[in-house]
Amino acid sequence: MQAMDGEYREALVLVGDHDFEIVIEELHALATVTQVLPPRLALVLLPAAPPDIPGTAWYVEDVPTDVYRDLTPEERLFVDGWRARRHPKPRPDDHLPWDAPDHEPPDGPTR
Would you tell me how many other CB atoms lie within 10 Å of the CB of residue 50? 17
Q: CA 97 to CA 111: how far, in whole Å? A: 26
Q: CA 41 to CA 15: how far, in whole Å? A: 6
Q: In this structure, are residues 37 and 80 in contact, taking their beta carbons and an 8 Å threshold? A: no
Per-residue pLDDT tens over the stretch 22-78: 999 999 998 899 999 999 999 999 887 888 888 899 999 899 999 999 999 999 999
Q: CA 16 to CA 62: how far, in whole Å? A: 17
Per-residue pLDDT tens over the stretch 78-101: 999 999 988 777 777 777 777 778
Q: In this structure, are residues 43 and 6 in contact, taking their beta carbons and an 8 Å threshold? A: no
